[in-house]
Amino acid sequence: MSPAVVLVGMFLVLAFTGVPIAFCLAVASVVTTWYMGFPAVVVAQRIATGLQSFPLIAIPLFVLAGSIMAKGGVARRIVDFAYIIVGPFRGGLAMVNCIQSMLFGGVSGSAIADISSTGPIMIPMMKQKGYDNEFATALTVASATQGIIIPPSHNMIIYAMAAGGVSVGQLFLAGYIPGIMIGIGLMITSFIIAVKRGYPREKRPPLNDCVRISVDGILAVLAAVIIVGGIAFGIFTATEASAIAVVYATFLGLFVYKELKLRDLWPILVESVKTISTVLFLIASASAFAWLLTRLQVPTMIMRSMLSITSSPIILLLLINILLVILGMLMDVAPLIVITTPILLPVVTAAGMSPVTFGIVLLLNLGIGLTTPPVGTGLFVGCSVGHTTVEKTSRAMVAFWPAMIIVLLLTTFIPALTTFLPSLIVK
């Protein structure tokens, strides 16, 4: 039996029996190395090597910064800021949900952080104004996917490493236009549904309140400007930017908004460590798995197989998108990035797609996967926050998938959407 069959087969068997993905990857790697006659220490070495990267330090720091912002009042102020911008339109609260995800995603870099932080604010508020609970929950989950597209995104850092050194600054800039397009697409969908169902408009606050809310909101969004601008213009690296994000978030929470107390920092650190440990273990296990895939020439075999199906770049890219959406429905974002990047990157580059564009296309696909059963993490977190079921929310989610898929296809076949900003700023 081929070692590649053992590796993939063992992974699938463990995954379908409910074993956590990180353990599936690690156990499948150990069993395969044993089957090939290699010592098991090889896997341990590859796991350790997978974490020996300076840019990886940015991931725990960005996670910590997002947690501090969520607890320090940033989320609520971004919601209030979005309320001023789009509240007066028909279905204004639905649009507020989209805008705040766009802004908070650009600060926290995490879809799950967005759902967990702003979901408890937005969903009850929308229900109180007459919105259906399932609609509010589905929109919260769908709009939160902007968090992995609009920088700073720790998933972009994972992709940059898996792709062999793609510029993090270019990836950050490349995510802006597709991320904003998702927000606009969801806002248009929300407006259509709001008109059909008669959802209300909202009143804009008095001028004095608008000014105060705008100042607080701009201070919160300024974090993203500092981080991305500093990286794009070469002022500091992504790792240094993540440390600055932590300091800035702590300063806002403690001294500006004054909703964060010193005693709150320890629970935030503990919770962040739990999240970081999970992410890093996934990355480490996936690194060993991906190393074996490469050694067994699985990427080469898949590339040849896909190129033998069709010579049309359009059909090839459509097939890859379909594959990624399906995989996103079954696995979490981080391990999929590490596993699929070395396999599919040679295929898409052969079809004429740049590594930067593929990174955004990959994240768009996996973002859609976050909103789908059976393993969509964002969907499950949203249902927990909204106190509803996956079945009901999935039915409501159907209305938002077309907008997300349209943005995915436009990004796939119009490279300028991802290359314009990087070519303009990063030299």
Q: What is the pLDDT of residue 427?
A: 53
Mean pLDDT (the chain, rounded):
84
Separation of alpha carbons 49 and 166, rounded Å? 19
Q: What is the pLDDT of residue 401?
A: 95
Per-residue pLDDT, averaged over 404-418, amounts to 96
Q: What is the pLDDT of residue 336?
A: 85
Mean pLDDT check: name the lowest of 97-106, 364-373, 417-426: 97-106
Is residue 28 in some structural domain?
A: no
Residues 6 or more apart whose CB falls under 8 angstroms from that of 152 comprise 62, 106, 109, 172, 224, 227, 228, 238, 241, 242, 245
Separation of alpha carbons 220 and 257, rounded Å? 10
Residue 426: is its pLDDT beyond 80?
Answer: no
| CA nearest to 289, candidates 17, 21, 13 | 21
Is residue 18 in some structural domain?
A: no
Which pair of tokens denotes residue 111?
Answer: 């879809």
Is residue 196 in some structural domain?
A: yes
At 375, is the pLDDT very low, low, confident or very high (cuts 50, 70, 90)?
A: low
At 226, is the pLDDT very low, low, confident or very high (cuts 50, 70, 90)?
A: confident
Is residue 63 in some structural domain?
A: yes
pLDDT tens digits, 288-326: 888 888 788 777 777 777 777 877 889 999 999 998 888
Separation of alpha carbons 85 and 204, rounded Å? 9
Q: What is the pLDDT of residue 55?
A: 67
At 54, is the pLDDT very low, low, confident or very high (cuts 50, 70, 90)?
A: low
Higher pLDDT, 231 or 32: 32
What Cα–Cα distance (Å) separates residue 163 from each residue in 333, 372, 387, 405? 15, 26, 39, 24
Is residue 203 in some structural domain?
A: yes
At 89, is the pLDDT very low, low, confident or very high (cuts 50, 70, 90)?
A: confident
Cβ distance 146 to 100 under 8 Å? Answer: no
What Cα–Cα distance (Å) separates residue 55 from each residue in 51, 169, 194? 10, 12, 44
Best mean pLDDT range from 233-242, 261-270, 372-381: 261-270
Cα 369 to chain centroid, rounded: 10
pLDDT tens digits, 34-45: 888 888 788 888
Higher pLDDT, 255 or 375: 255
Q: What is the pLDDT of residue 391?
A: 86
Residue with tokens 């896997």: 43
Is residue 35 in some structural domain?
A: no
pLDDT tens digits, 93-141: 888 888 888 877 656 566 777 787 778 878 888 888 889 999 999 999 9
Q: What is the pLDDT of residue 390?
A: 84
User: How many domains are contained in the chain?
Assistant: 1
Domain extent for 147: 40-425
Is residue 4 in some structural domain?
A: no
Residue 330: is its pLDDT beyond 80?
Answer: no
Separation of alpha carbons 319 and 338, rounded Å? 20
Burial class, 205, CB count within 10 angstroms (exposed 0-12 / middle 13-18 / buried 19+)? middle
